[in-house]
Structure 1
Amino acid sequence: MDRNFELDKYILEHSTPEDPVLYELDRETNISILRPRMLSGHIQGMLLTMLSQMIRPKRILEIGTFTGYSAICLAKGLVEDGKLHTIEVNDELEWIATKYIEKAGMQQKIQQHIGDACEIIPSLDETFDFVFLDGNKREYSRYYDLVFDKVRPGGYLLADNILWDGKVVEEVDPRDEQTIGILAFNDKVKNDPRVTQVILPLRDGLMLIRKQ
C-alpha cells in the first residue's frame, strides 16, 4: 500500500468537494494544455478560497493566471464590489481562462491582463489586500519589489512553488535560473523586516507573507 496515496485520498475525502466548474476546468486543462501540473488543483484551490474568505479583500492581484483556476478560487472571497486583476504572459491561455471565468459567473469580478507582469504591475493604480505570486520564478524578487508599495499595511502576499520540488535544499546548478530565482526570493523575504512570513509545505510549497 502506498502511504502517500492513501493520505492524499483521505485528505480529499475529508475536504469539501470540488466546485463542479473547477472540476471541469481541471479536466480540460489536463486534456488540452501543456504542463497541466501548473494548475493549483482542488486542495490548494480550497486553501486559496478560504484565505480569501477570511481576509475579505476588496482588491486582489494574481501574477500568473494559467487557465484561471486559482483566480476563480480567490475571487470567491472578494467583497461585493471587489475586483481581482490577473496577469498572464502567455496569450494562448486566454481562451480557456476566459471560458471558465464566465462559466463561474466571475467575469465582472475578474479582470484579465495579457502581457509581461513587470510592465503591467506599474500601470495598475490600485491598493491590494492580497497578492498571489505564481508567475515566472526567475522574476519573483522583482514582482515583490514592484507590488510591495501597492499592498496595504496588514495586507498579504502568497507565493507559490517556493520549495521548487525540493531543489531549494539541494546543490544548485548555476544554469538553473528558476531555482536560483526562488532561492533569492526566499532569502529576500526572510531578511525583510517589513514583513512576517511562514512556509506551508502544501504541494510545492507556499509562503504566506503579511506586510506590517
Structure 2
Amino acid sequence: KYALRTMKPMLWMMAFLLVINLLVIKTGTPLFSIKGFTIYSDAVNQTLYIVVRLMLMVIITTVLTATTKPLDLTLGIEKLLKPFEKVGVPAHIIAMMISIALRFIPTLIEETQRIMNAQASRGVDLENGSIKEKIMAILSLIVPLFVSAFDRADQLANAMEARGYDPSRKRTRYKVLKMQTIDYASMILSVVVLCACIGIWVL
C-alpha cells in the first residue's frame, strides 16, 4: 500500500502519456472509433509499455529506500563502484553525494511544509487565483527553499572541513559489509528473473 501510494503524483503524467500516444500513434490494428477518432493497437501497447516501466521503476525504488538503511545503501553503491576507480571514477565521492541527498530529502520536505505554512499565514494562496498569481506564489515558495538548501549545504561543508574530511584519502569503515548466503541467493534470483524477462521480451 505504501509503494502504491507513491504512484498518485504520477497519475497525471500517465494520463498525459495516454492522450499523447492516442493522438500521435496511428499504426497497428484499429480497435474502435469514437466520433470519427480511431484508436489503434500500437498506441495502447506503447502506453501500457511506458506506464508499466514507470510503475516498476517507482515501486522498486520506493521498496528499496523503505527497506534499506541509507548507510547500507551508500556502502553498497560504493562497493559496486569500487572496480571503476581504476579508470578514474570517484566511487567514494559519488556514494557520499548519494548518501547526503538521501539524508536531506526528509529535511527539505519538512522545510517546504514549514515555508508553505509561513506563506499561508501571510495570505499567500497556493491553490486558487490566476496563473500569474499561482506562479508568484510558487516563486515565493521556491526562492526561500533554495536559499535554505544552499545555507544547509554550506554549513555541512564547513562541518566536514572542520572535522578534517578529505575524500581523496583512504578511509576505514566502522561497519564492513560482507556477503551472506541470502545475498548470493538474492543475486542469483535477480539474474534469473532478468534473463527470464529478456527471454520473454525476445520471444
Greater Rg, structure 1 or structure 2? Answer: 2
Greater relative contact order (CA < 8 Å, ≥ 6 in sequence): 1
TM > 0.5 between the two?
no
TM-score (ref. length: structure 1): 0.20
TM-score (ref. length: structure 2): 0.21
Greater per-residue strand proportion: 1
